[in-house]
Structure 1
Amino acid sequence: MSRAGAGGGIVPASTRAMNLSHFLTQAARRHPDAVAFVWREKVWSWRQMEARVDALAAALRDQFGIAKGDRVLVQSTNCNQMFESMFACFRLGAVWVPANYRQSPDEIAYLAEASGARGMICGAAFPDHARTCRERAPDLRFVLSIGASGFGEDIDIAIDRHLGRTVPAAAVDRDDPCWFFFTSGTTGRPKAAVLTHGQMSFVVTNHLCDLMPGTTHEDASIVVAPLSHGAGVHQLAQVARGVKTILLPTEKLDVPTVWSLVEKWRVTNLFTVPTILKLLVEDQSVDRHDRSSLRYVIYAGAPMYRSDQKKALEKLGPVLVQYFGLGEVTGNITVLPPAFHSVGDGPQARIGTCGFERTGMQVEIQDDAGNPVPAGDTGEICVIGPAVFAGYHDNPEANAKAFRNGWFRTGDLGHMDEEGFVYITGRASDMYISGGSNIYPREIEEKILAHPDVSEAAVLGVPDPLWGEVGVAVCVVRPGADAAAIDLAAWLEDKLARYKLPKRIIWWEEMPKTAYGKIAKKQIREELDRRGDLAAPGKKTSA
């Protein structure tokens, strides 16, 4: 990049960017004694958070040798130390590498190897993860423990030893990495999407602009999803506005506790995924607590079925905000604000859409050759803009597949209407071909979930000797309902074209889900195979 000089020549322009840890410094300057972070019985002010992050950065630098560009792997459930580790890494110009804590020791060791992690911060409850990473990751020099353990120094002891130290934020450029955001690995090994300081500054600004306009230091946000992924991005945006963050005191989602904390702290926003939002509004505790403080209930990560959307609106009012965006685009593809959510099915409801383009981003629906398709036609959803990641770490093959003519290819199929609203049909990998016709599971799942006794549904294409592939629907009934009494085939008969009807309907007690609350179709397929149901005859079986 360049700019015009005083004499009309061209001189290099600076690519220097703000170090993301400066968001915390700003909050501590403006609101030093205000509540910053709440977890269990502990409350920290912004001044205290800034001091602890400085101390942790000093420990990582002076005691363990972490420098700019080094990667630090974090294996932990949500806690204040995990949140602090993000800012300490940013401050040093190091790269924060948070893991899905529910993964196995071998899976986490792969992340340590793939990222080239120099250090690891690991919850005391995961000694096997720490041991396996030490054995497998040649670059790993130390492990800090969150809590007392036998595998590393307690991180709080290291922080206490360095309290009072001040660590200046490392100078960073716009494209310097700050976060390795590992993909879920649904089609193979997880890949490290490289997020940068400049990119994330845009993302934070965009989140505040499009998802939570008007957010100030008087707001409060509750965390109901792992900080390692979308919730961590959401909370980074909260710090930028001095918003207090409340963590759940329990590792697992406890819905009554969520609503009691919403009432106690007058929570104004939260980020979640559709399956968790469904649990929140269907639990009886939602009616026992004051939730009137909520202004933005933001959901993403997977489509929300219309039946669940209506229930959430009936319980919470016009506070729903949907966004669509992969980790590689840090959530910044589309937004559907509260004004476009409606209990009624009129034109304002925009049923089935994930919204319109985020500020500063451009979306295009493309055919297989990379050409834009007409409004209403189905193609791959592609995107350009400052929120797009820098590429996958040390993975040129994946980068070549992910980008075409400068556009990031999401792998999601959909269409855009004349007004710019985007509609997701499903993942390209979910689509199957039956008798020569393309079948998109999302459409079928929507029809199934309109049945009053069906709680969850997933449709997959499976091999068939006659048709090539046919659909199998795996469903879960609502509490109190009897699967044997549901004739789902008859229910669907006049709602879908005959070739789209699932050839088998299988009832399970529960669906496998990822750590982030998404229904895990890869695991469903593996379980179907294990049970012998991929080739089983008949229309209906029970778990």
Structure 2
Amino acid sequence: MNDLVTRFLDTAGERPGEVAVIDPDGRTTTFGELRRLALEVSTGLRAEGLAPGDGVLFAVRNSATAIGVFLGSLRAGAVVISADTAVGPALVSARLRAYRPRWLIAESPFFTTSVVGPVRAFCRRRGWPVPDLRQPIADPGIRTVHIGRRWPGVPRSALALKDLFDRVPAAPAEPDEDAPALVVFTSGTTEQPKGVVHSLRSLTAAVTMLGGHLPFAPGDVMHADGILAGLPALLGGARLSLPKPSAPPKRFAADLADRRVTHAYGVPVHLAEVFGVLPRWPDHVRHLVMGSAPAAPAVLRQALAAVPGGQVRSIYAMTEAIPLAVARAEEKLAHLEQGRPGDLLGTPSPGVTARIAADGELLVSAPNACLGYLGGPPLTELATGDLARLDDEGRIVMTGRKKDMLIRGTYNIYPGLYEPSIALLPGVREAAMVGTPDPVTEDETVVLAVVADSDEADPARLVRRLRRQLPGLIDAEAVPDRIVVLPDLPRSGRSRKLDRGRLRELVTASRP
């Protein structure tokens, strides 16, 4: 077997005394300790009756413990279900209904905030996204494991993580690499959550591909938030540095220096804030990877200035398949500066086959693609929802999102085709186009929202200049009816992607 768990165990066994993970609070865990934790969890869960295919609801914040429990659960044959408690109680409950787990593994505070009424009410008043785990806690058919000391609300029947240790090891069952191994929920209403189902094979392919794009060696330090983002580093014998969730820019910048980071990953919007406090990063940072959301040209320039002489890459990926393509920052900027429309996503990853459907949607098949969606048929080809074309070099160029399409008369407008070029204009830092209903024509009024560069002091002058420049830059049918200047574009989610719904509300409210 050469799956990601086996590969990690082999790598960790070769360097037991070396530091593998630096937790957000600075605590360190060696490869040997992490390997032992994964093996103890695997053996203990099987001894307690976990059967291959059992669902394990996973509510553990990013840490060395989370990585060890995750790997151990996979080795035991579990289907790990990401609770992602930050989404709020309604979605967590809907996800439990979509996939009823047999096990719940959670940190003790999650039990307290779910069960103890005054604590739960206090957290909600403060706006903290606390989970609602009352349903699995109360279900007698669900076994629970708590991590950390026993807090109020932890069921009496719950096992402590340490209760799984020191069990008599048995020969692990041969894993079925094509069976479900991970369920990650993406978007969807509370009634219809959308669960992406990965196999051990697709996860292994994803980690292998990421490692191919960003090679690691012992002595390297990867600063990244997330288990899958960090596993390529660990498999390469490198150290994983976990940032504090939603780390303030100054804290992120300090970690780069204090932890001697060589590789860093971040969301473009958050990285832009870091560049604001640290324009030039320490020389030991050689690789910077951006992902989870598009990067504006201004951020690409800042990234290149922050890591001069290093490599800055932008990853195109989906929850369904990580990664699909990678582009160098220099390539993306050159594409725009040469007047080519769309956002250059890069060359498809090795093994990824891309084609364009009749309606322009990008379709892919790849070894790292998910099995399908929870409750749905197996997928043989993944519909990305992105409109794209392949250039003469076989690179993917995104021209928009199908769901973002605007309609003006008989013309379809795809904002993603124009936004990167508009953001390249002097005085513009970010740009986004949305449509608002026109009660007279029943078409959409096209509104361009821009965020001005810091050196652009007069919004009215910027709007006048854009009105002169846009007709020569974009198709005549796509020239906006209105241009508004905002201090920032609204963002949502952990990746802080553009919230077009909220943007539509803002520009509607600002209508003269």
User: What TM-score, normalized by structure 1, do the two folds share?
Assistant: 0.80
* Range moving further from structure 2, 335-344 or 235-244: 335-344
Partner of 1:142: 144
Partner of 2:230: 235
The unaligned stretches of length 5 or more in structure 1 are 1-16, 369-378, 539-543
Q: Partners of 1:188 and 1:280 in 2: how far apart?
A: 38
Partner of 1:115: 99
Q: Alignment partner of 1:494: what SS?
A: helix
Partner of 2:410: 436
Displacement of 1:151 after TM fit? Answer: 2.7
Partner of 1:48: 33
CA displacement, residues 484-518 of structure 1 (integer Å, 9 cap, x when unaligned): 54542541432234432333344555413211222
Query: In 2 relative to 1, CA 437–467 (structure 1 residues): closer, same or farther, beyond 3 Å?
Result: farther
Q: Partners of 1:486 and 1:356 in 2: how far apart?
A: 39
Match of 1:91 among 58, 75, 96: 75
Displacement of 1:244 after TM fit? Answer: 0.8
Query: In 2 relative to 1, CA 154–43 (structure 1 residues): closer, same or farther, beyond 3 Å?
Result: farther
- Establish whether residue 384 from structure 1 lines up as the match of residue 365 from structure 2: yes
The unaligned stretches of length 5 or more in structure 2 are 115-130
Q: Partners of 1:519 and 1:187 in 2: how far apart?
A: 21
Partner of 1:9: none
Partner of 2:187: 184
Query: In 2 relative to 1, CA 252–537 (structure 1 residues): closer, same or farther, beyond 3 Å?
Result: closer
Contact preservation (8 Å) 1:294, 1:319: no
Partner of 2:245: 251
Contact preservation (8 Å) 1:471, 1:502: yes
Query: In 2 relative to 1, CA 238–439 (structure 1 residues): closer, same or farther, beyond 3 Å?
Result: same
Partner of 2:259: 265
* Range moving further from structure 2, 44-53 or 139-148: 139-148
1:259-298 alignment to 2 at 5 Å? 259-281=253-275, 283-287=276-280, 291-298=282-289
Residue type at the aligned position of 1:306 = P
Q: Alignment partner of 2:386: what SS?
A: strand
Q: Alignment partner of 2:256: what SS?
A: helix
Partner of 1:173: 176
Q: Count residues in correspondence.
A: 486
Query: In 2 relative to 1, CA 346–305 (structure 1 residues): closer, same or farther, beyond 3 Å?
Result: closer
Contact preservation (8 Å) 1:221, 1:244: yes
Q: Partners of 1:449 and 1:217 in 2: how far apart?
A: 39
* Range moving further from structure 2, 341-350 or 119-128: 341-350
Displacement of 1:364 after TM fit? Answer: 0.7
Q: Partners of 1:491 and 1:346 in 2: how far apart?
A: 17
Query: In 2 relative to 1, CA 142–517 (structure 1 residues): closer, same or farther, beyond 3 Å?
Result: same
* Range moving further from structure 2, 466-475 or 232-241: 466-475
Partner of 1:463: 437
Contact preservation (8 Å) 1:57, 1:92: yes
Q: Alignment partner of 2:278: what SS?
A: helix
1:35-74 alignment to 2 at 5 Å? 35-39=19-23, 40-63=25-48, 65-74=49-58
Contact preservation (8 Å) 1:143, 1:153: no
Query: In 2 relative to 1, CA 258–114 (structure 1 residues): closer, same or farther, beyond 3 Å?
Result: same
Query: In 2 relative to 1, CA 122–310 (structure 1 residues): closer, same or farther, beyond 3 Å?
Result: same
User: What TM-score, normalized by structure 2, do the two folds share?
Assistant: 0.84
Residue type at the aligned position of 1:257 = R
Match of 1:515 among 479, 494, 500: 494
Residue type at the aligned position of 1:245 = L
Query: In 2 relative to 1, CA 454–85 (structure 1 residues): closer, same or farther, beyond 3 Å?
Result: farther
Q: Partners of 1:241 and 1:102 in 2: how far apart?
A: 30
Query: In 2 relative to 1, CA 154–337 (structure 1 residues): closer, same or farther, beyond 3 Å?
Result: farther
Partner of 2:321: 329
Partner of 1:201: 204
Q: Partners of 1:440 and 1:187 in 2: how far apart?
A: 28
Query: In 2 relative to 1, CA 285–491 (structure 1 residues): closer, same or farther, beyond 3 Å?
Result: same
Residue type at the aligned position of 2:444 = E
Residue type at the aligned position of 1:234 = A
Residue type at the aligned position of 1:149 = W
Cα root mean square deviation, aligned? 3.3
Match of 1:306 among 297, 308, 311: 297
Partner of 1:12: none
Displacement of 1:133 after TM fit? Answer: 3.5
What percent identity do the matched residue pairs reach? Answer: 23
